[in-house]
Amino acid sequence: MNKIVFTGGGSAGHVTPNLAIIQQLKEKGWSIEYIGSKTGIEKEIIEALGDVPYHPIPSGKLRRYVDLKNLKDPFHVMQGVVKAYWLLRKLKPRIVFSKGGFVSVPVVLGSWLNRIPVIIHESDMTPGLANKLSTPFAAKVCVTFPESLKHFTGDKAVHTGPPIREELLHGDPGKGRRLCGFTSDKPVLMVMGGSLGSQIINENVRTALDRLLVRYQIVHICGKGMIDTAKSVKGYKQFEYIQDELPHVLAMADLVVSRSGSNSIFEFLALKKPMLLIPLSRQASRGDQIINAQSFEKSGFSRVLYEESLSPEALVQTVNELFDGRSRYIAAMQESAVQNSVERITELIEKHAKR
């Protein structure tokens, strides 16, 4: 039986795209295992599947800023390489698929030392640090944006597009409304700040809550430990994180306020959901979310509100403008040529596994 090991973690964006490919390979009869960190969100997501063995390894975070932890984390990375090497030697996969994140680097290096081919997927327009470090050891790098090809030499990179989870395309809006206690006679605004949550988005939404509730019902995916029980009011439903019910919640949403991680925004695009994107600032990131948001705004898929301009007043005004012009954004998304990449990536996996 063909066996593949997946890796990727640190945030849901480095895990959930793997789920679409895992499902496809399961249907083709592949044996699947996952290597991730000991405490990352990937552990929770993969173990929830129930039938994919999960193997934790030590990992260190790859920081771009000064921090005392930078002195000891290289040792965690080396420990992770050693653990990944022996683990892969035991598992004997035909191929490894990496979605990035700091935990993926030891797995990619361990694969290379075992002469196991690796395929990487890069979601953002510019490659992240983990994928930059991993690329020399990979057979192929799949990219979401065609503009990303210029960041890789030779023919190592291939434009595949984003892997979209099939189940997201088949949500039931009625189930979403029942889950949230919503009615069908008032539009639904969905707010999410990424899998780890966003304090600044949460605070602005809650400050503007009374004004937003006049016009919308609001489902708020606010991040672990970020539910505000004092804001439990009719028409406002909070979740720390949603997994199985997400297709139904997305199906009922009329518009979305979100960070601009590549995986999420391409899922919204596939579902034709008008978006207000609030990218992470350059002070808190390498700027990839800003580039993603600008690309979507230029294509007519979204509005963008930068953190520096974010206020409760600006949030209410921009959400209303987005909703009033929603037909224009939906029309632009319907003209999009973006294709789901699951089949293309699966073909690459099967091709390189045969080698």
Task: Render pLDDT for 67-104 as a digit per residue (tens, 0 to 9).
Answer: 555 556 677 788 999 999 999 999 999 999 999 888 99
Of the pLDDT bands very low, low, confident and very high (cuts 50, 70, 90), residue 11 is confident
What's the confidence (pLDDT) of residue 129? Answer: 87
Q: Quick one: CATH architecture of 169-334? A: 3-Layer(aba) Sandwich (3.40)
What's the confidence (pLDDT) of residue 68? Answer: 56
pLDDT digits 0-9 by tens, 310-335 = 999 999 999 999 999 999 999 999 99
Fold of 3-163+340-353: Rossmann fold (3.40.50)
pLDDT digits 0-9 by tens, 202-249 = 999 999 999 999 999 999 999 888 899 888 899 999 998 888 899 999
pLDDT digits 0-9 by tens, 127-155 = 888 899 999 999 999 999 888 999 998 88
Residues of CATH 3.40.50.2000 domain(s) within the chain?
A: 3-163+340-353, 169-334
Dist CA 151 CA 218 (whole Å): 39
Helix (H, G, I), strand (E, B) or coil at 267: helix
What's the confidence (pLDDT) of residue 61? Answer: 64
Quote the pTM value: 0.84
Cβ-proximal residues to 58 (8 Å cutoff; 6+ apart), any chain: 38, 76, 77, 79, 80, 83, 106
Q: At what angle do helices 312-324 and 199-207 cross, to 10 degrees?
A: 80
pLDDT of 257 > 90? The answer is yes
**How many Cβ atoms from other residues are within 10 Å of residue 92's Cβ?**
10
- Name the least confident of 276-280, 318-322, 350-354: 350-354
Q: How far is CA 311 from its chain centroid?
A: 25
C-alpha gyration radius of the chain: 20
